[in-house]
Structure 1
Amino acid sequence: MEEWRKVRLGDVCKTNTDSYSPKEKWDYVNYLDTGNITNNRIDSIQYIDIKNDKLPSRARRKVKTNSIVYSTVRPNQRHFGIIKDYPENFIVSTGFTVIDTDEAVLNANYLYYLLSQPTLVESLHAIAEQSTSAYPSIKASDIEDLELEIPDITIQEKIVDILGCLDAKITNNIEINDNLAA
Structure 2
Amino acid sequence: MKVKLGDVIQLNPSEKLPKGERARKIAMDNLDTYAREISGFDFDEYKGGTKFRNEDTLLARITPCLENGKTAYVNILEKDEVAFGSTEYFVLRANKELINPLYLYYLSVSSDFRTVAIKSMTGTSGRQRVQKEAILNYEFDLPSLKEQERIVSRIGCLDDKKALNDRINDNLDLLLTTIFENKINNKNFTKAHLTDIATYRNGLAMQKFRPDDNEQSLPVLKIKELNQGYIDDSSDRCSAEIDESVVVNTGDIIFSWSGTLLVKNWAGETAGLNQHLFKVTSNNYPEWFIYEWTKHHLQKFQSIAAGKATTMGHIKRSDLKSSEVLVPNNDELDKLNTIMKPIYDKRIEVINENQRLIGLKRILLQRYF
Instruction: Classify the TM-score, shorter chain.
Output: 0.7 to 0.9
Equivalenced residues, count: 167
Instruction: Note the residue ranges of structure 1 that are not aligned, 5 or more in a row.
Output: none
- SS across alignment from 2:49: strand
Partner Cα distance (2:124, 2:10) in 1: 24
Partner Cα distance (2:39, 2:136) in 1: 27
Partner of 2:92: 99
Q: Does 1:143 align with 2:132?
A: no
Partner Cα distance (1:119, 1:20) in 2: 33
CA contact (8 A) 1:26 1:89 kept: no
Partner of 2:105: 112
Aligned pairs (5 A) from 1:16-95: 16-20=12-16, 24=18, 26-38=20-32, 39-48=35-44, 50=45, 59-74=48-63, 75-86=66-77, 88=81, 90-95=83-88
Aligned pairs (5 A) from 1:124-163: 124-128=117-121, 131-134=122-125, 135-163=127-155
Which amino acid counterpart does residue 29 of structure 1 have in structure 2?
Answer: A
Q: Deviations over 1:46-74 (max 9, x none)?
A: 322x3xxxx55xx3322122111111102
CA contact (8 A) 2:60 2:89 kept: yes
CA contact (8 A) 2:10 2:94 kept: yes
* Higher strand content, 1 or 2: 1
Partner of 1:15: 11
Instruction: Give structure 1 regions of 4+ aligned residues with deviation exceeding 6 angstroms.
Output: none
- SS across alignment from 1:111: helix
Identity %: 23
**TM-score normalized with structure 2 length:** 0.42
**Which segment drifts farther, 151-160 or 119-128?**
119-128
**TM-score normalized with structure 1 length:** 0.81
